[in-house]
Amino acid sequence: MDNPDLSHHWLPFSANRAFAADPRLLVSADGVHYVDAGGRRLLDGVSGLFCVPAGHGRPEIASAVSDQLRHLDFAPPFQFAHPDGFALAGELAGILPPGLDRVFFVNSGSEAVETALKGALAYHRARGDAGRTRFVGRERAYHGVNFGGLSVSGIVRNREAFGTGLPGVSHMRATWSPDQVFGWGQPSTGADLADDLQRAVDLYGGSNIAAVIVEPISGSTGVLVPPEGYLERLAEIAAANGILLIFDEVITGFGRTGHAFASQSFAVTPDIITMAKALTNGAIPMGAVAFRRGVHDAVIEAAPPGGIEFFHGYTWSAHPSACAAALATLKIYRDEGLFERSAHLAPTLQQAVLDLKGAGPITDIRGFGLLAGIDLETDGVPGRRGFAVLKQLFNAGLVARVTNDTIILAPPFVATETQIREMVDIVRSVVAGL
C-alpha cells in the first residue's frame, strides 16, 4: 500500500517529526493482531489503547453500527432522544455498582470527566450548597486533556504549556512509594496517603470542596495500584465531609480488573463513575458518566417544572451509532463471559510479567488484573529510553503503550494464555538488549 502524505495530520501526544521520519502505520486489525503498512502482523499488547478487550474486527459490532446508520443516523440529543440511548443506560445500570443508575452520555473520557466535575457542582448548587466549588485531584493522575480534567490531573508535561487551569484545585500525593517495588496487586503500605484528603479538608474547609476525583488504578502514569485500605479511607473522609467521590474508570471500566468496574473489584462505591474506551470496544467514540441516583435526583428536582435541569451536553451525546456499538459490545462481554475471562487470564499476565525482573534495566513491575506496568531505568533523559523501547517493541512485533519510561501491557480479554506470554516474551527480548 502507498504511504499517504504525512504532512497535514497533526498527531496527538506524538513525536510528530520522529513519526514522519519513521512512521508506524497500522492498516488493519483482527482479533489480537494489527497489520502494519508493510504487511507485518503485530500483537496488540494494550487492547488498542485500553479500549478493545473483545478483540478487533468484531462483526457483531460492525453490523449493529451499519444497521443503525441505515435506520437512524442521527437524532438530536437536546429535547429529543432515541430508544437505544435508554436501552444502553439501562444495560449499564445493570452492571454498575448498585445505586449508580443514572447515566449521561458523552464522546470520550475527557468529556466524561468534565461532565462528572460539572455534575458535582450542579448537585451541590441544587442543594443550596453552591459554595462547594473546590476539587481535589491527585499527583500522577490522568483525567484527560480538557481544562477541568487537566486541572485535576497530575502530569506536569500535560499542564505546563496550558496556563493556570481551574482555580481552587488541590492535589493529593500519588500512592506509589519505593517500598512497594516488584509487588503485584494492592500494596500493603500507603493507605495513610488517603489522609491527604483530610489535609485538604483541614486547610480549605470541607464545606468548600465539591468532589475528589481519582482513578482507582492510575493507568496512564504507569499502573499505580491503590494500597489496601486506601480507597476505603478516601470514601470515608469524603462521606464524612459531604464531598462527592468520583472514580475515573476510563481505563479500569469494563472488566480490566476482573469485574465490570474496579469499584466492584475494590468493593468501594463512589458517587460518580466515568467510563469510555471499552464501552464500544473501541469501535465508535463514546463515554458515559454514571451518577448515584440521589445526585441525579437533586439536580433534576431543583429545576423549575418543565425547565432544563442540567445545562450541559454534546451534539453527539448518545449518538445512535455509538449506542448501537455499545449495546453490541455489552452483549459480547456478557455472552462470552469476558469479564470472567479477564480475571482468569490475570495470573498468566502476572506471572509472565513478574518473571521479567532481572531481564534488563527494570526498576519496578506492578499490576492488577489484566493491567501491568514495567518501569525502565531512565537513561538520564526521562522518556527517551521509553520512546526508543516503543519503537523496538513495534519492530519486534508488539504494539504496547509506553508512557515516559514505563511499558504498559493491557492485553485483550480474548487473547490466549500463549499469546499473553508471547507479548511478554517480546518485551523480554527488547529490554534484555538495553
Judged by beta carbon, residue 403 or residue 419, the one nearer ligand PLP is 403
Where does this chain touch ligand PLP (CB under 6 A) — which range of 20-28, 243-251, 381-389, 397-405? 243-251
Is 400 a residue that touches ligand PLP (CB under 6 A)? Answer: no
Tell me which residue has cell 494494550. 46
Judged by beta carbon, residue 241 or residue 316, the one nearer ligand PLP is 316
What residues contact residue 269 under an 8 Å CB cut-off, 6+ apart?
97, 98, 99, 100, 235, 263
Judged by beta carbon, residue 287 or residue 320, the one nearer ligand PLP is 287
Is 317 a residue that touches ligand PLP (CB under 6 A)? Answer: no
Number of residues that bind ligand PLP (CB under 6 A): 14
Where does this chain touch ligand PLP (CB under 6 A) — which range of 116-124, 140-148, 195-203, 408-416? 140-148
What residues contact residue 416 under an 8 Å CB cut-off, 6+ apart?
none
Nearest distance in Å: CB 219, ligand PLP: 5
Tell me which residue has cell 504532512. 7
Nearest distance in Å: CB 143, ligand PLP: 5
Cross-strand partners of 212 = 136, 245
Give the full edge-to-edge strand order of the sheet including 406-409.
362-368, 371-376, 406-409, 401-403
* Member of 100, 250, 408, 423 binding ligand PLP (CB under 6 A): 250
Using CB positions, name the residue nearest to ligand PLP.
109
Where does this chain touch ligand PLP (CB under 6 A) — which range of 30-38, 53-61, 124-132, 244-252? 244-252
Per-residue binding letters, 94-123, with ligand PLP (x by CB under 6 A): --------------xxx--x----------
Nearest distance in Å: CB 215, ligand PLP: 5
Residues found near ligand PLP in the complex (CB under 6 A): 108-110, 113, 142-144, 215, 219-220, 248, 250-251, 276
